[in-house]
Structure formats: C-alpha cells, structure tokens
Amino acid sequence: MSTPKTIIQKIWDQHVVASEPGKPDLLFIDLHLVHEVTSPQAFEGLRLAGRRVRHPELTLATVDHNVPTIDRDKPWTDPLSVQQVEALRRNCEEFGIPLFGVGDIRQGIVHVIGPEQGLTQPGMTIVCGDSHTSTHGAFGALAFGIGTSEVEHVLATQTLPQAKPKTMSVEVNGELHPGVTAKDVILGIIAKIGVSGGVGHVIEYRGEVIRKLSMEGRMTICNMSIEGGARAGLIAPDDTTFAYMEGRRFAPKGADWEKALDYWRSLPTDEGAEFDTYVTLDASEIEPTVTWGTTPAQSVPVTGRVPDPSEAPTPQARELAERALHYMGLEPGTPIQEIRLDRVFIGSCTNSRIEDLRAAAEIVRGRKVAPHVRAMVVPGSGLVKHQAEEEGLDRIFKEAGFEWRDAGCSMCLGMNPDILLPGERCASTSNRNFEGRQGRGGRTHLVSPQMAAAAAIAGHFVDIREWK
Ligand SMILES: CC(C)[C@H](C(=O)O)[C@@H](O)C(=O)O
Ligand code: SF4
C-alpha cells in the first residue's frame, strides 16, 4: 500500500511539472483570477517582454476593489479607479482574457464569482493577486494569493514556482449552538492560533462542524485562513460540494461530470495521513463573536467585555492591546453590548453570498435601522444581487432603512468611495479590522451577518441568541 496522503499533498503532486532538489517545485495553475488592483504592472511586464498570455481560457478577470457601488452610470469621482478599471478592460481586450466588467451582471468580488460560475472546482490549483484567494479552498482546491510579479509569471507560463508548505489540521468537533455561524467559528480558530499561527502552512479544516456547513459557510471559513497567517485553507469536497456545483455554467456536464466526480471523490485525506501541526476546537465553546481590537484575533463573545490590557499575558501583548483600545476608542471593562455603532456594513468576500443576505434579512424583516446608524448591504456579485431581489430581500433591507448597493469590495477596504469617516464605528461582516482598513481613523468590529443585522436595528451589539 502506498503512503497515506493529505488532500494538500495529493493536489500538490498532481500539479508538479518540474521538481529539483533544493528548489521550489514548479506547479501548473488550473485557474488564474485577475482583478484591477494587482494586474496592471503584470500586463505591462508582458507587453515590455513581447509575451502573450499562455492560457487565456484558464484566466478570468473582473473588477471589484475600485468600483463604486452606486451611480455607476454617472461619472466616477475617483480618477485612479477610472484608470485602473479602464486599464483592465484594455488589457483583457489586448490579451484575449474574458472579463466580467462593469455593467455585466456576472461582475462581482473575484472570490464570489469563481465559485458562482462553477469555475472553482475540487482538486484545482487556483491563484489570484489577492490574499483572500484562500476562499476557493472551500471546494477542496489549493488556492492562494500571489504578488504582482507572480501574476505576470502565471499569465506568461500558467505555472508558478512554490515552496512546499507545511500542513495543518484544524478540527472542529461537537455541535454549534444556535446563532453561532461559520464566521464565529473562524474568528474562534484565529483567536486560538493567533494571527501568525498558520504561517508557512496550508490548513485543512476538518471535523463534524465543518462537514455540516453549507458551501457559503465553508467559504467564510477558508476566506479568513490568511488572517490566521496561513498560506491557504481548504475543505475536502463531499456531496455538499457537488450539489452546489452541479449545473453551474462552467462545471463539467454529462459524462465529464461523472468522470470528475470519480476524481473529486479520491481527493479527501487518506486515513492515517499525517499533518505537521494539529489544532482542535470544541464547537460548544464558540459563541457569537465580536472583535474589539485591530487584529482579527482580538475578539470576545458578544456577552463579554472589552478586555483589560493589564491582564494580557506578556508585556508585548499588553502594549498591543493598549494601542488597539486607544485606536478603537474603547475603555477596558465595557460590556460589548453597550458599544454604540455609527455604521453597519454587510458585504465582502467573507459574507456577501446569498445565504448571508438571507440570514441578515431574516433578522431585519419588519424592523427599522436605529436612527443614528447608517447601514448598507453590498451583494458579492451582480448575480447574488439579482437572486436576492428575486427573493424580495432587497425590499426587506430597504424598508428597514438599509442602502442596497451594486456588487464590489465596497467598505471592506478604503479603495472606493464607501469609507468610514475618522472616528466612525462600524459593525462589519468583512475579514480585516486593521487600523484605517475601512477609511482613515475608522473603527471596525468584525461580526457575522446576523450579528451585523441585529446591531443595525438595535444601534449597538446584541446577542443574536436573544433576538425575537
Ligand atoms: C487589494 C488586494 C491586493 C488586497 C489583498 O490582497 O487581500 C485586498 O483584497 C485586501 O483584502 O486587502
Ligand atoms: S472583499 Fe475585501 S477582502 Fe475580499 S477581495 Fe475585496 S477587499 Fe479583499
């Protein structure tokens, strides 16, 4: 019998096109996703070297970071956005790359549209010049972010030199309490391993809790792998994966589907395969979670209080906590549920899929956003937006006083007009709460869509488990 392998090892081995001792392996890349921010210099590099794109049919581009989410047909206010979006359009035309551009209903956040189109498939290697490419790992793909020079390398050769990562098993067992979501699970994992706990590793998320999650929930988990320092994160494909994929535009059809299923079913980690690092989490310990600081690891249950830096385990942790509280404008000991909010953002590649919007709408139905709060919902793609409108979710949000926007990264990061003002406090379903992330001086608290929706109505954080 051959040595048992992890899914990570299996995908790796399938994609090595050249291997030399002491050097990184050269991997074939099955799918290359491109957006407007990290691609301009890569295309410029190709032009200067007189090269073509090796496999335009394995490449797909969209615009997400810079696009405004309102009044797109009017002149855009930010000249850099206009320039980058226009540059991508020209580059795609010149190099023959398919583009889901502004005005195309399929346009959206790059990590939402790949799975939505059935392009993201188990066993693939997927790269994008974007750290949250790990999202695609939810389908059992090895998916990771790359830098602009690597984008150029992949465009030119459809391969990438990569050092072999270490492997980490993160197992979540038991049963989640009602009101606890995938977002709380990943915040719990990051709180446990820390923001650099995963450095050098690819994570496989395992255990009963992971198996029971929908594809949307799995994407939320894999999305934030990078926030725990990991190179990538993935989940073995199973019937949930296949049911989600079947019939999607680029998913295999007919006999090809059956053949693909055979391959996909061979991917899960073999019994007895070993990981370099093991982490386990008990689902019953996870509660609806709110970040209080400026890293995704700085979180507490919604029933908790802002921690006291003087209780931090090391002088260094104390200093970090003090700095975070200062930036966040919070006092130690404040009950989380007394933190008053100015803004609520439901969106981003972490939580802007249809299931997220349904969950948020369920909380909001028939109620009104607190008068002092400005709240917005930004669907992850034009197709998510369309689906939500078919289901009447847009009406629920609008009647409650939420703004209903067009697809894009929006207020996840300050690269477009959707930003916080200095000092504004926001409950956000995104993945990063770094200083200035949502606009200079803005204060971000990461939460699940349900928690964000309830906070918009109440005007402060509330325990979703008590929502009636
Ligand atoms: C702009 C892009 C390079 C960046 C990333 O790589 O993640 C962005 O998507 C983010 O979330 O910070
Ligand atoms: S939604 Fe946020 S995290 Fe995701 S790709 Fe866009 S900016 Fe990055």
The confidence score (pLDDT) of residue 2 equals 84
How do the residues of the chain divide into helix, strand and coil, expressed in percent and rounded to 5?
40, 20, 45
Is 412 annotated as belonging to a binding site? yes
> What single letter denotes the amino acid at residue 283?
A
Is residue 348 within 6 Å of ligand 2 at its C-beta? Answer: yes
The β-bridge partners of 127 are: 32, 144
CA of 285 to the centre of ligand 1 (A): 31
Over residues 329-352, the pLDDT tens digits come to: 999 999 999 999 999 999 999 999
CA of 119 to the centre of ligand 1 (A): 21
Nearest CA to ligand 1 atom 6: 130
The ligand that comes nearest to the alpha carbon of residue 431 is: 2
For the CA of 412, the nearest atom of ligand 1? 11
The ligand that comes nearest to the alpha carbon of residue 84 is: 1
Instruction: Give the pTM.
Output: 0.98
CATH superfamily of 289-466: Aconitase, domain 3 (3.30.499.10)
The predicted model gives 206-215 an average pLDDT of 98
The predicted model gives 216-229 an average pLDDT of 98
The predicted model gives 315-322 an average pLDDT of 95
320: Cα within 13 Å, side-chain hemisphere: 15
- Mutation probe of ligand 2 site: the residue of 33, 39, 65 with most atoms within 8 A of C-beta: 65
Q: What is 166-238+269-285's CATH number, 3.30.1490.20, 3.40.1060.10, 2.40.30.10, 3.60.110.10?
A: 3.40.1060.10
The confidence score (pLDDT) of residue 22 equals 94
Nearest CA to ligand 2 atom 2: 412
For the CA of 226, the nearest atom of ligand 1? 7
Is 426 annotated as belonging to a binding site? no
Q: Tell me the two tokens of residue 387.
A: 């689906």
Is residue 69 within 6 Å of ligand 2 at its C-beta? Answer: no
Exposure string over 433-449, b if 16+ CB within 10 A, otherwise e: beebbbbeebbbbbbbb
Cα–Cα distance for residue pair 306/309, rounded to 1 Å: 9
Over residues 130-170, the pLDDT tens digits come to: 999 999 999 999 999 999 999 999 999 999 999 999 999 99
CA of 348 to the centre of ligand 2 (A): 6
Nearest CA to ligand 2 atom 4: 349
The predicted model gives 322-327 an average pLDDT of 98
CA of 331 to the centre of ligand 1 (A): 31
Compute CA 374 distance to the chain's CA centroid, rounded to the nearest angstrom.
24
Cα–Cα distance for residue pair 57/54, rounded to 1 Å: 9
CA of 284 to the centre of ligand 1 (A): 33
CA of 65 to the centre of ligand 1 (A): 8
Pocket residues for ligand 1 (CB within 6 Å)? Answer: 37-38, 65, 130-132, 145, 413
Domain ranges within the chain, ordered by starting residue: 7-163+239-262, 166-238+269-285, 289-466
Contacts of 188 (CB under 8 A, 6+ apart): 281, 285, 286, 289, 299
CA of 396 to the centre of ligand 1 (A): 31
The percentage of residues in the chain with a pLDDT greater than 90, rounded to a whole number, is: 99
For the CA of 409, the nearest atom of ligand 1? 9
The predicted model gives 247-270 an average pLDDT of 98
CA of 415 to the centre of ligand 1 (A): 10
Is residue 15 within 6 Å of ligand 2 at its C-beta? Answer: no
CA of 131 to the centre of ligand 1 (A): 6
Cα–Cα distance for residue pair 127/138, rounded to 1 Å: 14
The ligand that comes nearest to the alpha carbon of residue 414 is: 2
Alpha helix (H) ranges present in 224-272? 239-245, 254-265
Q: Is residue 126 pLDDT above 90, yes or no? A: yes
CA of 194 to the centre of ligand 2 (A): 21
- Mutation probe of ligand 1 site: the residue of 64, 65, 410, 431 with most atoms within 8 A of C-beta: 65
The confidence score (pLDDT) of residue 468 equals 83
- Mutation probe of ligand 1 site: the residue of 413, 433, 444 with most atoms within 8 A of C-beta: 413
Is residue 437 within 6 Å of ligand 2 at its C-beta? Answer: no
Over residues 288-298, the pLDDT tens digits come to: 999 999 999 99
Q: Tell me the two tokens of residue 215.
A: 């594809």
CA proximity to 171, closest of 235, 220, 228: 235
Over residues 399-412, the pLDDT tens digits come to: 999 999 999 999 99
Is 409 annotated as belonging to a binding site? yes
The confidence score (pLDDT) of residue 333 equals 98
The ligand that comes nearest to the alpha carbon of residue 220 is: 2
Look over the chain and give the mean of its residue pLDDT values, rounded to a whole number.
97
Q: Give domain 7-163+239-262's CATH architecture.
A: 2-Layer Sandwich (3.30)
Q: Is residue 1 pLDDT above 70, yes or no? A: no
Q: Is residue 83 pLDDT above 70, yes or no? A: yes
Cα–Cα distance for residue pair 125/122, rounded to 1 Å: 9
Please name the helix (run of DSSP H) or strand (run of DSSP E) that holds residue 162, with its range, or none: strand 159-162
Over residues 373-387, the pLDDT tens digits come to: 999 999 999 999 999
Decide if 7-163+239-262 and 289-466 have a common fold: yes
